[in-house]
Structure 1
């Protein structure tokens, strides 16, 4: 069994075509306890509707969608949100870093984060911001040079309804390395 992982950027059409696989990843992450804006029980129709909205945002140029794939299909995804106020043309938000539980500990999250940083550079974005409720993700972000801003206690709910704190990070990219 090959362990090759490919990361690629999706246009709106490809995002729509892969929405079933993207829904599988989102559902797996939520069922695994990830605090990514959704609650349990999560209907498949909710996940599919979310990916329809993401594809629409990609079509409008408001976000970039990246996926990681192995021989079985989509195993991870991350987004770069660029639809921000006009006084922030240099900034973007990194959102929804999701890795299917079957693909964890294979470097998928790191590959996606490096790819989203490169996508940001290509779009002329050099200040990136993200938030997370996951200690494992915190270790990844810090290893990749993200700066911790702080934690807001009780910021969100875990899928099971429990309150959780959220840690905010930023990273300033080299403006001249696109």
Structure 2
């Protein structure tokens, strides 16, 4: 049984170990999510703990997918802080554990964040991902518009510079 739920600040704090497990798995599998190898559980947990103030303040919404009790995926929606940008938000840290891939979980998580964004005042969503990645395919086929590619934007977990594609999506309503 699959559930996707937004984590309260307390649930987020209690789930940091599982969120760290997802982040370590993503980096170990080569996902360009902001970290390079070697990358361990303590470093991942510290990164998630640093996000707690934003979760508690409501400026970072984090959803977790659970299948049979295990956390298998997550997505976050970062609300813009600037007064002239409060109509937009950024999709960050969409991650699915490699053992749970190929079952539509990325699309389900993305749809969850897209449905929730308007209630947060965000009618325009932005994101970036490694050009040519599986994630890019999810966005290209999910109604997102690629507005540019920046060469050598970020390094892969192994340290090789990779191009990055930037996307936006206008939400109805």
The normalised TM-score by structure 2 is 0.96
Match of 1:94 in 2: 91
Match of 2:31 in 1: 34
> Is 1:120 matched up with 2:117?
yes
Unaligned runs of 5+ in 2: none
> Is 1:78 matched up with 2:75?
yes
Q: Pairwise CA RMSD of aligned residues?
A: 1.0
Distance in 2 separating the partners of 1:53 and 1:122? 25
Question: What displacement does 1:72 show?
Answer: 4.2
Match of 1:174 in 2: 172
Report Cα offsets for 1:68-95 as digits up to 9, x if no partner: 1101411111110014211011100110
Report Cα offsets for 1:43-77 as digits up to 9, x if no partner: 21110011112222110121100111101411111
Deviates more, 1:106-115 or 1:43-52: 43-52
Q: How many residues end up aligned between the 2 structures?
A: 172
> Is 1:129 matched up with 2:121?
no
Contact 1:35 1:157 (C-alpha < 8 Å) held by counterparts? yes
Unaligned runs of 5+ in 1: none
Poorly superposed stretches of 4+, deviation over 4 Å: none
Match of 1:11 in 2: 8
Distance in 1 separating the partners of 2:28 and 2:69? 20
Contact 1:5 1:108 (C-alpha < 8 Å) held by counterparts? no
